[in-house]
Structure 1
Amino acid sequence: METFLFTSESVNEGHPDKLCDQISDAVLDACLTQDPDSKVACETCTKTNMVMVFGEITTKANVDYEQIVRKTCREIGFISDDVGLDADHCKVLVNIEQQSPDIAQGVHGHFTKRPEEIGAGDQGHMFGYATDETPELMPLTHVLATK
């Protein structure tokens, strides 16, 4: 009989992962606001006083990525070197390219292809479920990770 280890992770407010997720979300929102047909695969990483936004984005939107990074950091409260990132003075690196034709061919066509013919991109593999193993109706690993 094979066994496996199932774990969960949780990060709190102020963690770089949370900041990066919010920046990537803000980029997506900005693209979709101007062009609902935008295709966005945006990644963000950060280290002391630097943020990098990179990925593949195909859109007709005119997006100022640096402004989005700074605004998002500022709104969260990253406004001083004392907290590791100053929204107004940090280095912002942007490396956004058009989506590659190979990926586009596999994942687009929702108006012309049958659902089983449309591929999936590699962004976001999540699952969730309710369970009676805890009073919160959440999996025990999640409850323990967030305590």
Structure 2
Amino acid sequence: METSNRSEKRTKIIYWIFTLWMALGMVSTAIVQLMKNKDELANFTNLGYPAYLMTIIGVWKLLGVIAILIPKRLLLKEWAYAGFFFVMSGAVISHLIVGDPAGRTFPAVLLLVLVIISWYFRPANRKITIIEK
């Protein structure tokens, strides 16, 4: 029993470290996107995306962070994780397609990895459980 508690505690610590790091990354990039930072705007246009997409993605990131951090609302959390996965994997693929160097691609890769680790280590009370009949 004690090993199980220790394992659960370890899992929760990993979850919160990576979730807070992911949330910080999502919020900071959302702010940069919503402020239409000139470097971020150049990055978006280099990837072939319109500037207005920065506003859409920035708002979604902020809402996603809220959904993941608030208690309960398990289905909303799953949608937020899915959205983060699609946005960040799309960013990685976009950087690779245009041939961006590793330094420009790394932030998207890092956020994608943080999303996956946060999702994987989320505690049982933050997971949807399916009861089969």
- TM-score bracket, normalised by the shorter chain, equals under 0.3
TM-score for both structures, normalised by structure 2: 0.27
Higher share of residues assigned strand? 1
Higher share of residues assigned helix? 2
Greater relative contact order, per chain length (Cα 8 Å cut-off, separation 6+): 2
